[in-house]
Amino acid sequence: MPGITDLKLLISSMKPNLIEGEFVYCTVPASALADQIHLKPIGMFQEKEGMTLILPIEAARQAGFPIEPAMRMITLDVHSSLEAVGLTAAFATALGNEGISANVIAAYYHDHILVPAADAERAVAALKVLAAGQYPL
């Protein structure tokens, strides 16, 4: 089933789900990735400077990585198309207006937003207001 592309339908259908646990961004040389894969990253991205890993905070702590800033992940439970236009802008604007930074990961089925742990509940509330149509676009 293809993902949704209609912006109004995406926003009204999205259900922000705060995922259990905290996460941190870490980086390792690309050549060291095999040595770190046991840490079970929830995300990876190859950059010219090295491999970015998004790790559960406890795994990062045990491996000796810095554990700041602690992030929480919000999954938007709506099957958004990778070709949808405007969803990222809409939720980034809603969070930005609340003074909440957002680090976005677009995966095949859903968008995932990593926000500072201290702002997670406020972020979910802002996204629910957006989904309810109570936030201007």
Arithmetic mean of pLDDT, 115-134: 95
Is it the case that residue 137 has pLDDT exceeding 60? no
Is it the case that residue 97 has pLDDT exceeding 70? yes
**pTM to 2 decimals?**
0.91
CA distance 133 to 137: 9
- Residue spans of the domains in the chain: they are 1-21+70-137, 23-69
> What is the pLDDT, as a whole number, of residue 54?
97
Q: 29 falls in which pLDDT band (50, 70, 90)?
A: confident
Residue by residue, DSSP assigns 2-50 as: PPB--HHHHHHH--EEEPSS-EEEEEE-GGGHHHHGGG--SEEEEETTE
Indicate the CATH number of 1-21+70-137 among 3.40.50.11540, 3.20.20.70, 3.30.2130.10, 3.30.420.40: 3.30.2130.10
Are 9 and 81 in contact, with CB atoms under 8 Å apart? no
Predicted confidence (pLDDT) per residue in 35-90, tens digit: 888 999 999 999 999 999 999 999 999 999 999 999 999 999 999 999 999 999 99
CA distance 12 to 42: 27
